[in-house]
Amino acid sequence: MIVKFDEIPEDGLALHLTETAWIPGEEISWQGPVDASIFLGKNGERILCEGSLRLTLLLDCDRCLEQFAAPLETEFKIDFELLPADLAQQDFASEHECSEAEMDVVYLEEPLIDIHATLAQQLYLAMPEKRLCGEECQGLCPVCGVNRNLEQCDCAKKSGLSPFGVLARLKH
Ligand SMILES: [Zn+2]
Ligand SMILES: [Zn+2]
């Protein structure tokens, strides 16, 4: 889905997407409805993009490897600006030391905004780094590999090196 700069009216363009075609499906699993809103406003030569994204991700727990549902909600602001054609990208970058306000400026070679690519990028940025099905997740036993949230094994007792073993020795 491409929006051209000159397709954006003076009072802005609001988009609401419930389709899922923009989600990189090979890398990201999700369930249920997907809700994405984008508002494109004009500010001189700049296009100001404000958006929000809401969906439920299906992630694999870092500890027990089980899949779990993680609701994700994110908001973003991006300024799109056209890269001046007569300026080499490198010169341009060195002249424009990134100030705080310019942090989220995206320079485009053509006056086109790829809405799907923008949403996919924002989704990647919002993906949680730490993925736990719950803070209490016991993970897998490093010895026999059972999911310790579901099953108990004797490996900890047998090894004698575990906290359980130490505790047992202290008691006696
Ligand atoms: Zn887990
Ligand atoms: Zn075990």
Residue 37 · residue 18 · CB < 8 Å: no
Weakest-pLDDT range from 8-22, 61-75, 149-163:
149-163
Average pLDDT over residues 147-153: 95
Half-sphere exposure of 84 (CA within 13 A, CB side): 9
Longest CA–CA separation in the chain, Å: 81
CA quadruple 154, 159, 165, 168: dihedral sign: positive
- The chain-wide mean pLDDT, for the chain, equals 87
Q: Which residues contact 4 (CB under 8 A, 6 or more apart)?
A: 111, 112, 113
Given this model, what pLDDT does residue 95 score?
53
Centre of ligand 2 to C-alpha 132, Å, is: 20
- Position 162 pLDDT exceeds 70: no
Average pLDDT over residues 69-82: 95
- Position 84 pLDDT exceeds 50: yes
The DSSP code for 103 is T
Residue 45 · residue 39 · CB < 8 Å: no
Average pLDDT over residues 58-69: 97
Centre of ligand 2 to C-alpha 86, Å, is: 65
The DSSP code for 141 is -
Given this model, what pLDDT does residue 100 score?
52
The bound ligand whose nearest atom lies closest to the alpha carbon of 65 is 1
The bound ligand whose nearest atom lies closest to the alpha carbon of 153 is 2
Average pLDDT over residues 43-55: 94
Q: Which residues contact 139 (CB under 8 A, 6 or more apart)?
A: 63, 64, 147, 148, 149
Centre of ligand 1 to C-alpha 130, Å, is: 11
Centre of ligand 2 to C-alpha 159, Å, is: 10
- Position 16 pLDDT exceeds 60: yes
Centre of ligand 2 to C-alpha 138, Å, is: 12
Q: Which residues contact 24 (CB under 8 A, 6 or more apart)?
A: 120, 123, 124
Given this model, what pLDDT does residue 102 score?
47
The bound ligand whose nearest atom lies closest to the alpha carbon of 162 is 2
Centre of ligand 2 to C-alpha 130, Å, is: 24
Residues with CB under 5 A from ligand 1 (ion): 61, 63-64, 133, 137
- Position 83 pLDDT exceeds 90: no
Share of the chain above pLDDT 90, in %: 74
Q: Which residues contact 54 (CB under 8 A, 6 or more apart)?
A: 34, 35, 36, 71, 72, 73
Centre of ligand 1 to C-alpha 36, Å, is: 29
The bound ligand whose nearest atom lies closest to the alpha carbon of 158 is 2
